[in-house]
Structure 1
Amino acid sequence: MSVTLTESAARHVNRYLSKRGKGLGVRLGVKTTGCSGLAYKLEYVDEARPEDVVFETLGVKVLVDPKSMAYIDGTQLDFVREGLNEGFKFNNPNERDRCGCGESFRI
């Protein structure tokens, strides 16, 4: 089981946590929504929950709830800039399909 970050994503998270002045890392999970069924949830966190599965890449912690782990095992989190847009990109080997708007995915 693993969830990793690219250098770009780790740099972005560290920069944001420094600006915030606090934080443990990011929590990655999934929720049921959208036209394909599942959507990623990503939030900055200040403390771990007892049930969290914790991964660390380049000094950045990624916390995952056990229920989401089956859907995102092997995912690499990247931070990309495309034209005027920037944001996190999820490279998930478990995805079978993604909706046209990019909001949700299916396993």
Structure 2
Amino acid sequence: MTPGEITATVSVSIALATFFFGRLTAMREQVSDKTRMSERLDRIWETCSDTRDAVREMSRKLDDHSERLTRVEQQVQALSARVERVEDNCDAIFKSGAGTD
């Protein structure tokens, strides 16, 4: 072999080694990127699940509060009607005409 052939063979070997090393590095980076992306998606999914659960809980609490508010409003109306009846009875008994205010 001549020195030119040896140089060419070494150059080709170095080029091939560099190419394969570059491909391996690129594949590792792709795997690493996919792993990071998968982890991020998992965290996003967990956050979405937690948010969905929190919204459901808040919705349930709002429903409970709405029911309680409706009951309180009904009780206030019933008490208001009773007060009006008592005032009417007092006005009828005392016939003052000025009212019980």
Same fold (TM over 0.5): no
More helix by share: 2
TM-score with structure 2 length normalisation?
A: 0.16
TM-score with structure 1 length normalisation?
A: 0.15
More strand by share: 1
